[in-house]
Homo-oligomer: A and B are copies of this chain.
């Protein structure tokens, strides 16, 4: 099954890339007050069990995909087609 992990800098953590993007958007004339940049990882898992997938993704995120000290993550598991 497919799943996506969304990884964002935590509130209060400096995000120079996001600041640069926000300023660039303002320069282009967009009415934007701020921007924050994060990552996403689409994962194809071998399991079809959503609960099992969530547990594995939580461990993956803590161990490899995100840095829990400075980043938060959310897990989106694709609805099963059953």
0/1 per residue, A32-50, Cβ < 8 Å to B?
1111111111111111000
Partner of A64, one of B24, B36, B47, B60: B24
Identical copies in the complex: 2
Q: Which residue of B lies closest to A52 (CB)?
A: B31
C-beta contact mask, A2-33 vs B, less than 8 Å → 1, else 0?
A: 00001110000000001001101100101111
Contact: A8 with B42, CB < 8 Å? Answer: yes
A82 within 8 A of partner (CB): no
- Please state if A38 and B35 are interface contacts (CB–CB under 8 Å): no
Which residues of A are at the interface with B, using a C-beta cutoff of 8 A?
Answer: 6-8, 18, 21-22, 24-25, 28, 30-47, 56, 59-60, 63-65
